[in-house]
Chains A and B, each alone.
Chain A
């Protein structure tokens, strides 16, 4: 076969993926309807014959994203308007509180570079503590081994150069378990997850501790994670860490 005789596929209409979804979505239209700006004509039979599964799927998904993105934008606009309205109502009473908060934050920033801070903690599970101390033993054994441990007696150690707020929510559980926390993620997926968070027995003590280490370069944000039972991996609570600017 000579070079000229070779069969050639036609050049594709696009040579790379469409990354600009927003622009692409603008072109979506209902199947069987004439897209905006195109001549209508009932030589649609040919077009119909070319309808493939992929075409219809793509049409449906593109249209879906167009609709839902607009819907979310509308919701945000309404929420913003409501917030502005509320702010307007609260301006008189809120300004003094805001000024006080700003002053407090200023003082906080001046204090130093290293913070060992635990501002908010909500521990509701005395059984968690028995589970931690018991280290996988039966609940009865764990409780017997640590009769003096009271609910809420969990220490949180935070190593961070920035002000950090930790909220641990562990509701009562029917039986003892060993907690484990996976990486915590920010709402913005571009932010690296917080991985330096773990439950350990506090050094030189039988008391359990939540150790939180915030890297210096960690972007300020709210990071959330799920606390699981180490053995079953079933969720038992949640952990929220707010790294403030």
Chain B
């Protein structure tokens, strides 16, 4: 089963790149307006601006704007929230890269590789604080009531993300093996889905539909979409290239407890399990290419890649089902097509 779906480009709705480009450009402009300048430029503000200016898919922010639009809001009503999402996302990326000791981000060296850990950490903190400003600006844009509601949503999202990140880091530190799919999906729900999908949808719905929709349904939709997105992201790690911008097999190097790693451990023989645990118990710098390649080969032998791919497709199907539950009665529009198309796009991006 192919991991990258380059052969399926025709399935991607043309609406997806259009919307990502249009809303992405608007969000980027808004993000830039929040990037501070002045002293200490070299030690702080240059670093704060680095990741946001590297680009990115702008999927999270576009999803927020599209959701608001589907429910009848103007694009400009959602732009502040979209900017906040991107700022926080980039802040978390800086911290992620430090925590995982990653070497590349969006095709370039990570911030801490270029500037050292202390300055990168500080820039991440600053970017995180900066994400609050557009959320506060929401008060004059969409009114204090909705702005407060979105702040409360952002608070929950931030806590969920921190909990998910802690789970993943803790598993690596304590060399936890034999984790179940349930463990993995709960971690992904918190670490990935809340910021990437659930919060953008819920915030967009608050902006567009005010208090008049059931926000719980976006947790379901966002979880299924976000989990399939994350699993596909983990799978893309096995075919990393210049478009993807991350190192090949980086997750195995980092000992990330992906669906594939958990699966291969469960399927392996006792001897193989002992060896996997020994390799994962080593600090990243002491793992060898031979060891990483051995785990990767074992994943092929036990069908772990296919397994994860099937799970991802099943979850994407569930996302599509939940999409119809929420959006079926809303008028057809480009934004609605965009949201629907994301469930197949997750497999076709590179």
Contacts and interface: CB of A to CB of B under 8 A. Distances in A.
Interface of A: 29-33, 48, 51, 53, 56-61, 63-68, 71-72, 75-76, 167, 169, 171, 182-183, 185, 187, 189, 193, 222-224, 226-228, 233-240
Contact of B210 (A68, A72, A238): A238
B7 to A, nearest CB: 19
B266 A193 contact: no
A171 B181 CA distance: 46
Contacts, number: 132
Interface in B202-245: 208-214, 216, 219-220, 223-224, 227
B333 interface: yes
Interface stretch (B28-36, B40-48, B313-321): B313-321
Contacts of A71: 186, 189, 219, 223
Interface in B291-350: 303, 307, 310-315, 317-318, 325, 329-335
B313 A63 contact: no
Contacts of B267: 32, 48
B331 A182 contact: yes
Nearest to A187: B214
28 contacts: A29-B180, A30-B180, A31-B263, A56-B311, A56-B314, A57-B310, A58-B314, A59-B311, A63-B181, A63-B185, A64-B318, A67-B185, A67-B186, A67-B189, A68-B220, A169-B72, A171-B73, A182-B329, A187-B214, A193-B329, A224-B209, A226-B70, A226-B72, A227-B72, A233-B332, A235-B208, A235-B335, A238-B209
A142 B147 CA distance: 35
Interface of B: 69-74, 77, 156, 180-182, 185-186, 189, 208-214, 216, 219-220, 223-224, 227, 262-263, 266-267, 303, 307, 310-315, 317-318, 325, 329-335
A193 B315 CA distance: 30
Contacts of A58: 314
Contacts of A29: 180
A67 to B, nearest CB: 5
B331 A60 contact: no
Nearest to B216: A72
Given A235-B69, A236-B72, 17 more contacts: A48-B267, A53-B310, A56-B314, A60-B181, A60-B312, A61-B315, A63-B185, A64-B314, A68-B223, A72-B219, A226-B70, A226-B71, A228-B331, A233-B332, A234-B333, A235-B71, A238-B212
By DSSP majority rule, is chain B's interface helix, strand, loop, or mixed?
Answer: helix
Given A57-B310, A57-B311, A67-B186, A234 B334 contact: yes
Contacts of A238: 71-73, 208-210, 212
Contacts of A167: 210
Contacts of A169: 72, 210
B122 to A, nearest CB: 33
A64 B311 CA distance: 10
Q: Which 9 residue pairs spanning A and B have beta carbons closest together?
A: A238-B72, A57-B314, A60-B311, A30-B180, A60-B314, A224-B212, A32-B266, A56-B310, A30-B181
